[in-house]
Amino acid sequence: MKAEIITIGDEILIGQIVDTNSAWMADRLESSGVKVVQVTTISDNEVSILNALEGAKSRADIVLMTGGLGPTNDDITKLALCKYFQSNLEISNTVLQDVEAVFSRFNSVVSDINKQQAEVPSNCTVIRNPNGTAPGMWFDEDNTIYVSMPGVPHEMKVMIDKSIIPMLKEKYTLPVIIHKTILTHGIGESRLAEMMEDWEASLADTQIKLAYLPAPGMVRLRLSGSDAEQIENKLQQLLPIIKEHVFGFGKETLESVVIDLLRKNKKTVSTAESCTGGYTSHLITSVAGSSEVYVGSVVAYKNDVKERILNVDPEIINQHGAVSKEVAELMALGIKNKMDSDYSISTTGIAGPSGGTEEKPVGTVWIAIAFEDTVISKTFKFGDNRERNIRRSALAALDMLRRELLSV
Amino acid sequence: MKAEIITIGDEILIGQIVDTNSAWMADRLESSGVKVVQVTTISDNEVSILNALEGAKSRADIVLMTGGLGPTNDDITKLALCKYFQSNLEISNTVLQDVEAVFSRFNSVVSDINKQQAEVPSNCTVIRNPNGTAPGMWFDEDNTIYVSMPGVPHEMKVMIDKSIIPMLKEKYTLPVIIHKTILTHGIGESRLAEMMEDWEASLADTQIKLAYLPAPGMVRLRLSGSDAEQIENKLQQLLPIIKEHVFGFGKETLESVVIDLLRKNKKTVSTAESCTGGYTSHLITSVAGSSEVYVGSVVAYKNDVKERILNVDPEIINQHGAVSKEVAELMALGIKNKMDSDYSISTTGIAGPSGGTEEKPVGTVWIAIAFEDTVISKTFKFGDNRERNIRRSALAALDMLRRELLSV
């Protein structure tokens, strides 16, 4: 079963927002055995919408559209759908009641602009929207399923999970496609490919497809196929070859893996951050349940804070500079002591764009991990992009902690 | 001049990564007067690539492709391009030298797998890649410009800015499209639309297009047109109507606006974060130059840290709970004192998914701002999504600080 996703909105075409909906929908469709063959993003105008629908129909059995259903006047998707299906708008009482319920929850009266949300093409099945006022619309026409949803992510997501995937499963018998994703940190794509060369050649005798998916600070490897046993066998052959670099699988993240290990070892962690500016702490606390193992952090941007709160000796800062092995280690020891945690992470570096010197260019980072009576540290040379330096530093710090937690 | 962006990669179609390249490219094209009419994401296979090229040619004068040029075997874009243009791969000495230079920088030898990067279709103009080994390729065929670039964001971005936009400007006389974006915080899309109803109706007499772009915690309003004076006039009519909710324009963010205000007022800030877990600090420090006005933060996840480091009286926590007006205010005062900053922000709340009670459900957040001898605080009820609660809390805190900074 093939699907195409159509995203409607000038805001994406002029680069004002990133389309995150499509990746989310694609993931849900794939896991349900529907293959996404194309994602098409078009402008909020009738001609583009009609052409995209026509094109999608030639490639796919299922066409999922998002966007263009808001209460404001720049949204014309519903009118285009009427034209495409030669139907007319009519009031849906179900939707009208839902809209009224949303407004009464906020003790507010439904405006005329919001009442229009209840108008839908007469040939559609309404998909209710528990999180908003714009309904989803399901069309079963000419051997193709078309679904139109609002572009607001948390509205769309509930519709997909609660209504659309179940409706698709009822209509079609969907096959099973299996993906296994292996997550690696600290090694580049081509170096990894060289390590895996012989193993990769052996895939030629199978139906398994391999993809390399690089992202800042990590490369993911994805095996896809329909034979679970075959994939598992190949995976078990691959793991010993690249074991050193693998930190997890599937939807795991470095932060979720670290939190799981801390929980398993019944240990806690704190962080002292300079160049990462709270990002390491944010990654850790973005994981639900992190409060079990995470105590707290100090972001010590000014040297003064390193001295007063983390008890870093000002003499050491003068002598070695704030970005140094010595300061990183003292920060880690200081925060571990202050927070009374089992482990601690510290980062100090030059994120950029300014602040670099010849000896310590932008991208120079020291990271330390303290635990029991030990402190270990490591230096990294990242690049000249502030955002990526922050992210790569935090990931490198989490990976250092992970390795320590594994060696216990 | 119309452009289409083609993104090649199964990783996007199976939902494993979000396509951020397209938005970035679209923004650059738009600012150069090129209108992006479609973004198409397709699979890494020959048929899809050839069909997408054919389709794009029918809609656009310029076709920009990313992805499918890595050194590993899942990348087949170059072969598809040869087929499309009926040309052959041949070694480019320029590219070969660039690849060798990259490897010698890392004191490493060029592998055969990397030498293949130097093979390009014979009819292309090579676009050099200072950040990687895969070259860009420019084709001028049949009144259409086709450009193929690697999908690695920082490689693609340099090519666009340094080579492709200048080359397009040399080839075409590009018109000017003006976008003015107004950034609002703390008001929903439909409420805003109601406030602006009469003003919006008055746009009918102009060529100006209005779009509402909602995102977590903010709604952006975009005016587009070709007449700068007309846009400016309408903007000046609009601003008094929605002034209360406007925090900035264009590419500004709440964090960049706050930092600019602090810099202008020569004031510093620190943060004490519970539910936001370092995210407020991360937003502030993600702005280059924030070190001028940002001192540091304490992330106080455990109550113990609120007590020991922020000097919050344990009795007050017992009496009112950690998520309370009293604790938020004491946290703000405590961090301001500890960090010796002019202003401070504190957040305490229940991000979820667990931890909610009937009285204080998930999404309940208290935020306080301290300055001089004053502390102000406010409570918010956000939703049940952890990620969005963290983001909305941090933005609400920054907006409270912004309003204080403006009232000085």
pLDDT confidence of residue B117: 85
A 286-305 residues with CB below 8 A of B?
286, 288-291, 294-302, 304-305
Q: Which helix (H) or strand (E) holds A232?
A: helix A228-242
Q: Which of A160, A166, A69 is nearest to A120 (CA)?
A: A69
pLDDT level of residue A74 (50, 70, 90 thresholds): low
pLDDT at A75 over 80: no
Judged by CB atoms closer than 8 Å, whether chains meet at A39 and B209 is answered as no
B234-249 burial by CB neighbour count: b if 16+ within 10 A, else e?
beeebeeebeebbbbe
| Residues contacting residue A77 through CB under 8 Å, at least 6 positions apart | A8, A44, A49, A65, A67, A68, A69, A148
Distance between CA atoms of residues B233 and A135, nearest Å? 36
Q: What's the mean pLDDT when you consider all of chain A?
A: 93
Which candidate from A222, A288, A289 shows the least CB-CB separation from B16? A222
Q: Does the CB of A385 have a partner CB in chain B at under 8 Å?
A: yes
Burial of A155 (0-12, 13-18, 19+ CB in 10 A): buried
Judge if the upstream peptide bond of residue B135 is cis by omega within 30 degrees of 0: no
Q: Which of A50, A44, A37, A49 is nearest to A16 (CA)?
A: A44
The strand pairing partners of B347, in sequence order, are B273, B367
pLDDT at B72 over 80: no
pLDDT confidence of residue A201: 96
Query: Which of B129, B208, B297 is the best substitution to test chain A (most A C-beta atoms within 10 A)?
Result: B297
Among A8-17, B214-223, B312-321, the range of highest mean pLDDT: B312-321
pLDDT digits (tens, 9 = 90+) for A111-124: 877 788 899 999 99
pLDDT digits (tens, 9 = 90+) for B280-337: 999 999 999 999 999 999 999 999 999 999 999 999 999 999 999 999 999 999 999 9
pLDDT digits (tens, 9 = 90+) for A151-178: 989 899 999 999 999 999 999 998 877 8
Six-digit token pair at A367?
A: 């990271």
CATH 3.40.980.10 range(s) for chain B read 2-171
pLDDT digits (tens, 9 = 90+) for A19-54: 999 999 998 998 888 999 999 999 989 999 999 999
Judge if the upstream peptide bond of residue A353 is cis by omega within 30 degrees of 0: yes
| Residues contacting residue A407 through CB under 8 Å, at least 6 positions apart | none
pLDDT confidence of residue A72: 66
pLDDT digits (tens, 9 = 90+) for A207-235: 898 888 877 788 999 898 889 999 999 99
Q: In what order do the strands lie in the sheet with A178-185?
A: A209-215, A218-225, A178-185, A246-249
Q: Which of A72, A34, A53, A247 is nearest to A151 (CA)?
A: A72
Q: Does the CB of A157 have a partner CB in chain B at under 8 Å?
A: no
A296-320 burial by CB neighbour count: b if 16+ within 10 A, else e?
bbbbbbbbebbbbbbebeeebbeee
Q: Does the CB of B194 have a partner CB in chain A at under 8 Å?
A: yes
Query: Which of B281, B337, B393 is the best substitution to test chain A (most A C-beta atoms within 10 A)?
Result: B281
pLDDT level of residue B188 (50, 70, 90 thresholds): confident
Distance between CA atoms of residues B202 and A83, nearest Å? 28
A269-273 and A294-300 strand pairing: parallel
Instruction: Chain B: give the shortest CA distance to residue A276, in Å.
Output: 8
What residue has token string 């793991």?
A239
Six-digit token pair at A108?
A: 């507010």
Burial of A380 (0-12, 13-18, 19+ CB in 10 A): middle
> What string of DSSP letters covers B298-314?
EEE-SHHHHHHTT---H
Q: What is the average pLDDT across B143-156?
A: 94
**What is the DSSP-derived secondary structure letter of residue A164?**
I
Which candidate from B211, B299, B338 shows the least CB-CB separation from A74? B211
Distance between CA atoms of residues A260 and A402, nearest Å? 10
**Three-class SS state of B398:** helix
- DSSP-H helix ranges across A106-215: 112-115, 153-159, 165-171, 189-195, 197-201
pLDDT at B357 over 70: yes
Note the CATH architecture for domain B254-406. Answer: Alpha-Beta Complex (3.90)
Q: Does the CB of A194 have a partner CB in chain B at under 8 Å?
A: yes
Q: Return the number of other C-beta atoms located less than 10 Å from residue A176's C-beta.
A: 10
Q: Does the CB of A309 have a partner CB in chain B at under 8 Å?
A: yes
Q: What is the average pLDDT across A251-256?
A: 94
pLDDT at B105 over 80: no
Distance between CA atoms of residues B218 and B247, nearest Å? 10
**Three-class SS state of A26:** helix
Q: Which of the following CATH numbers is that of domain B178-249: 3.40.50.150, 3.30.70.600, 3.30.70.890, 3.20.20.80? A: 3.30.70.600
Six-digit token pair at B261?
A: 């205000």
Between B111 and A344, the more confident residue is: A344
Which chain A residues touch B213 with a CB distance below 8 Å?
11, 16-17
pLDDT confidence of residue B325: 98
CATH 3.90.950.20 range(s) for chain B read 254-406
CATH 3.30.70.2860 range(s) for chain A read 178-249
pLDDT level of residue A73 (50, 70, 90 thresholds): low
CATH topology (fold) of A2-171: Molybdenum Cofactor Biosythetic Enzyme; Chain A (3.40.980)
Judged by CB atoms closer than 8 Å, whether chains meet at B299 and A281 is answered as yes
Judged by CB atoms closer than 8 Å, whether chains meet at A18 and B13 is answered as no
Distance between CA atoms of residues B394 and B400, nearest Å? 10
**Three-class SS state of B97:** helix
Q: Does the CB of A406 have a partner CB in chain B at under 8 Å?
A: no
Q: Which of A47, A27, A31 is nearest to A39 (CA)?
A: A27
A 122-141 residues with CB below 8 A of B?
133
Which candidate from B74, B133, B304 shows the least CB-CB separation from A212? B74
Q: Which of A15, A25, A14 is nearest to A151 (CA)?
A: A25
pLDDT at B74 over 70: no
